Chains A and B, each alone.
Chain A
Amino acid sequence: MVISHFIALILFAFFVSVVFGVLTKETRRDCVIYSAKTFAAFVGIALVMGWVMFAFAR
């Protein structure tokens, strides 16, 4: 299975965020909120870092 960088990032961020949320929070609401924040952080930081590296590309 060959997938794009972005889809790989989305899948990785999703599953890791879900596990982090389930392990660190007690209530279902807190789990969902924490997972969503972690997912957004994963994807957001990766995109920002991608553009930063693009700016310094040779």
Chain B
Amino acid sequence: MAKSAVKKRAEEEEVEEPHVPTGVLIRLMVAAWLVPGSGHFLQGRRGRATILFGSIISMFILGILMNGEFFHLNSPSILHRLGFIGEWSVGVAMAVAHFFGYSGDDIFFASTDYGTAFLVAAGMLNILTMFDSYDIAMGRKN
């Protein structure tokens, strides 16, 4: 048993990661950041990409419908600055929301706190999605 485990581990260590050009990886990461799920889509995992896109964008839209707050980078609070990074992690959806005039200023709206949680969580999930597509590109995951 122990012998086979050692043998299996040795075989795993022998497997080399495929060489992926850095430029390709950067383009993949930027695409995965801008449009949730596009990192998976570009690697042929279209079903997963659709589910990830739908889930993350749905969370973002729900956050906006609940009047979630948009954080600003020049805020004195470090938590607000982290929130800014979290919200912008969702990619081009933030820019689209700004383009259509959503400013997220009404912090006294009843469900604003929930909306803010949805907006930040959507960005965080998109970061996980980016890392997952990176792992797939590096051959660490099927």
Contact = CB atoms under 8 A, between A and B. Distances in A.
Interface of A: 1-3, 8, 11-12, 15-16, 18-19, 22-23, 26
What is the interface of chain A mostly: helix, strand, loop, or mixed?
helix
Q: In terms of DSSP, what is the predominant structure of the interface of chain B?
A: helix
Given A1-B111, A3-B114, A15-B59, A22 B125 contact: no
Chain B interface size, under 10 / 10 to 19 / 20 to 34 / 35 or more: 20 to 34
9 contacts: A1-B65, A1-B67, A2-B109, A8-B66, A11-B118, A16-B125, A18-B51, A19-B125, A22-B55
B62 A11 contact: yes
Interface string B117-132: 1100100010011001
Query: Taking each of A12, A19, A26, which has the highest tally of chain B beta carbons within 10 Å of its own beta carbon?
Result: A19
Given A2-B110, A8-B114, A12-B118, A19 B52 contact: yes
Interface of B: 48, 51-52, 55-56, 58-59, 62, 65-67, 109-111, 114, 117-118, 121, 125, 128-129, 132, 142
Contacts of A16: 59, 121, 125
Given A12-B117, A16-B125, A3 B55 contact: no
Contacts, number: 48
Given A2-B110, A3-B111, A23 B65 contact: no
A51 to B, nearest CB: 20
A23 B129 contact: yes
A22 B39 CA distance: 14
A8 B142 contact: no
B111 A2 contact: yes
B128 A19 contact: yes
A32 B49 CA distance: 16
A22 B128 CA distance: 11
